[in-house]
Chain A
Amino acid sequence: MGFELREGMFVLDEMRNVNIKIGRVIEEEKEEKEWEPAGPTPKPHILDLRRWDRKLLERYEPIYAPMQDFCNLCTMGPCELSQNKEGACGIDLKTQKARLVTIACLIGASAHAAHARHLLEYALENFGHDYPINLGSNVNVEAPNIRLVCGIKPEKLGHLEEVLDYVEQGLVRVLHTIHTGQEEDYLDFESKAFEVGMLDHVAMETADLIQIAVFNYPKGEPDAPLIDIGFGVLDTDKPVLLVIGHNILPARNIDDYLREHGLEDEVEIAGLCCTAIDTSRYDPKAKIVGTLSYELRAIRSGIADVVVTDEQCIRADTLRECSRLGIPVIASSEAAARGLPDRTDENPDVIINDLVSGRERGVLIRDPDKVGEIAVRVAMEMRRKKGRKPAFMEDGELKAEIAKCTACMGCVFACPHNLRIDRAMSAAKDGDFSIFKELEGSCIACGRCEQVCPRDIRIVDVIMKSSYDSLVSKTGKMRAGRGPIQDTEIRNVGQPIVMGTIPGVIAPIGCPNYPRSRKEVSEIIEEFLKRKYIVATTGCHAMDLGMYKDEEGKSLYEKYPGSFDAGGLVNCGSCVSNPHISGAAIKVANIFALRPLRANYAEIADYILNRVGAVGLAWGPYSQKAASIATGFNRLGIPAVVGPHAAKYRRALIGKFWKKENWWVYDIKSKKRMNVEPCPDALLVAAETKEEAIVQLARLCLRPADTYMGRQIKLTHYIDLSKKYLGCLPDDWHLYVRSEADLPLKMKDELLKLLEEEHDWKIDWQKKKILKGPIRMYDSGFNPTILEEVFDKYSR
């Protein structure tokens, strides 16, 4: 008798009081087995990849830079841990810092996992369990992180439930280890942070797959449309709806409502942060104001008629700030209910009336599909009622605010950049606003200065007013986030990346807490685009790259093609699009090198570490999400250069080039263990200036497996950039030379001479050959790994 199982509950005859509940029907076992044999670590458990982590951590030793030297996590404390003392529970300062790093990663990964869960619940309800995940004919490996970590090939939305179940369980498992009285070795906490970073990439990939599949975002097209970006792109004669956050759902509903009601040209949707990026993937006509550092400015400028918030990276004073200006707020996420009354189930007319009349400062609407109508109608009615808002600050007010300053310098010590506001104020009193204009580029509009000013000066407004013309004239173009890298692109660039003839993949990602001007990230990146590196970007960096234009008025997206190829600038999308970048590295190992992907994490990470010259650049990271994203890249063998604020994450992973014993591999070809060049020599390291960051990025692209052609190209750029920005040859260039063929052609004689004179190498001058000196000699079949099992598998 055939018997079909379905989800639900049923009672068997003759077995009273016995209910059988079928949760999820596992129907695809067969299919799952067929696509690829499973590797050693499907859905790895918290300790399954510990050995790989230890290998990384042995080389890339954690360096801890405590923000505090005390702990007050439990009531036996607070405990003073300075000079690595132990607290009442026995934990020492280093381990405590590693514990905090793990917590930061957990916060970040949980934000993405919850975001993915929100999207999945919505998509399952509205599109169904069987809705296909299809990224088009050019993307067959649709979910490299999920395949690699979970061993699952998701073909339908429903398959992602199992993925998220795994991620959520993993996060809770790690969170439980944070409890007082557990780990005592900081490396074990670091391994857990790695675990969380890896789970984060799975969670983000899940979130982005869902949105791409159901909202029909671009599917890896290199020529995704160009989107208007910048304060100046808004038409403020129309009602303006400001959407802030990271979850597309409410913003999409607003966009749909406008289209369905023929209002696209009547109302402006302006987005901030990743919601903006994802809205523009849904509708290329959506406009982007900018990154997190524009939030307070956008609100204070008064351009918005209504503000809609969803989740992550939204200022916690949004309601207070909006209320002061009479701007109604619609909160739409459980993550930020803002103290507002839950009006989800009420009649929209009543809600709209309450908001427009000012009876309510804001409302919580938990159903994203109800936000559209309310937000649009409120924006239109607010505009009808109040008209166009007056300028946020008149010249007279500006003068009066400046006059109040006593140059006490309180603000200077509160400002995260120690900006000299006192000096700017004093110059402005004499009519010179140039210091304020200059300062605006570095000010992140955090408002900390205002909190301490004894004269209650509206410092953020003063800075904004002083440079208002340049702010409102800011317009740029950003290529819409295209999601995945195509398999065909990987086929084309896999070999040159691994050989090194494409000198590297640079991935500018993350937040806008930059050390200096926002412009710098464009300046850094253009240096690499000109040199034919591949650039793949996401998030706030992707936006800021579109914000700055050259003399001809072109942004980088207009100057460089959107293909994943030498000299291409690929915008993958929002924060949750980062796994397309880690995924590209994974795909190089899988599609180009044919390394098995399914549940085979350590082998793939080992491949990437030794061969794929990809480096992240997080020039302004501030969030816990950035911490977990970077940690996920690190576990996969991808280093990152971070801006100086990232030193506040408390730990970095930096190798010591001079510890020769740390730099070794097994060579599968010669079947020997041998010393290698120290490359890459860090997994996470801060640079202080853009010049320093550029040189660090170039050196971190070096990989042991570079062919001589690749090494020659990489060294040429490294040396050239070092000469350009540091004024000299890099101190460690000789460590990367294995044979004369590695040397930059134009400098060959000069460098051979230096090797002989300064480093005592033996040179055969007739043949211009290196006889003795390198850490190891070049061997074209060199096949490195730091994993015993990979060595055994391939040297058999």
Chain B
Amino acid sequence: MAEAKRKAKKPPEKLFNTADVQASRSAMLAKPNVLVKMIKRAKNPVLITGGRLLEDRRLVDYAVRMHDSGIAVIATGASSKLFIERGIRPDACVFSLHYITQFLLDESWQGFRGKPYDLALFLGFEPYYLSRMLSALKHFSKLTTVSIDAFYQPHAKFSFPNTLDLHHEMLEEFVSALGGGSIGKKED
């Protein structure tokens, strides 16, 4: 482990698959403390988790801490099992990210618990799959999308830079800054 850390290298911040090009904006880099402020301002933020949680249990730790700070969780890619093992019942378990994206695109959707989501954080996805879903949300919805994955996601509104081996450190910084609190409890 120490060996791996020693070798961990900083990848280029904003590189993504170079052929996944769009004419419109690419994501602004999300600094952990700015992100925390954004989340605290949101009315009903939600964390959407993907299949990579099955391979990287530390992502589950961070997701649980985000949940504990008051952010709702939608688990996809079978990541729900890991939350349930820790006594957390996500808002939804059975719908894949494709379904969730379709639902989020519909302004009339009231979320899984009767309240629309206004900010979505994405963690633990195949980069190319998340990229497409973020592209759908960018072009056809007003939702604020934030990728907190290991790879920079140009089609999100905000994204972590490429962190790869330094991903956990970035998440630690973000989740610590998030702390406990009153996220998502604001009224209209």
Contacts and interface: CB of A to CB of B under 8 A. Distances in A.
A407 B83 CA distance: 35
B115 interface: no
Contact of A69 (B22, B77, B112, B165): B22
B98 A686 contact: yes
A682 interface: yes
Given A82-B139, A726-B94, A695 B129 contact: no
Given A82-B23, A414-B18, A730-B93, A654 B77 contact: no
Contacts of B140: 64, 83-84, 94
Given A69-B22, A94-B140, A691 B93 contact: no
Nearest to B141: A83
B12, B24, B98, B165 interface centre (most CB from chain A within 10 Å): B98
A83 B24 contact: yes
Given A68-B22, A654-B102, A84 B94 contact: no
Contacts of A664: none
Contacts of B106: 656
Contact of A413 (B16, B77, B102, B165): B16
Contacts of A407: 7, 9
A687 B96 contact: yes
Interface in A598-649: 644-645, 647-648
Contacts of B129: 515, 644-645, 647, 686, 688
A94 B135 CA distance: 12
Interface string A58-84: 000101111111100000000011111
A699 B85 contact: no
| Interface residues on chain A, size class | 35 or more
Given A80-B24, A413-B18, A727-B80, A63 B54 contact: no
Interface in B125-152: 125-129, 132-133, 135-136, 138-140, 151
Contact of B93 (A67, A416, A420, A726): A726
A334 B12 CA distance: 44
Contacts of A69: 22-24, 135, 139
A64 B137 CA distance: 9
B89 interface: yes
Interface string B67-103: 0000000011110111111000100111111110111
B76 to A, nearest CB: 7
Contact of A65 (B16, B99, B135, B151): B135
Nearest to A69: B22
Contacts of B76: 688, 692
Contacts of A654: 98-99, 102
Contacts of A645: 128-129
A65 B132 contact: yes
A732 B112 CA distance: 11
Contacts of B151: 418
B179 interface: no
A35 interface: no
A447 to B, nearest CB: 15
10 contacts: A66-B22, A414-B18, A645-B129, A656-B103, A686-B97, A688-B76, A688-B126, A691-B78, A726-B80, A727-B81
| 4 nearest A-B residue pairs (beta carbon) | A727-B81, A82-B24, A691-B78, A689-B51
Given A417-B128, A652-B98, 16 more contacts: A64-B139, A65-B136, A66-B139, A68-B22, A82-B23, A84-B140, A407-B7, A413-B15, A414-B18, A654-B98, A686-B97, A688-B97, A689-B54, A691-B78, A726-B94, A727-B82
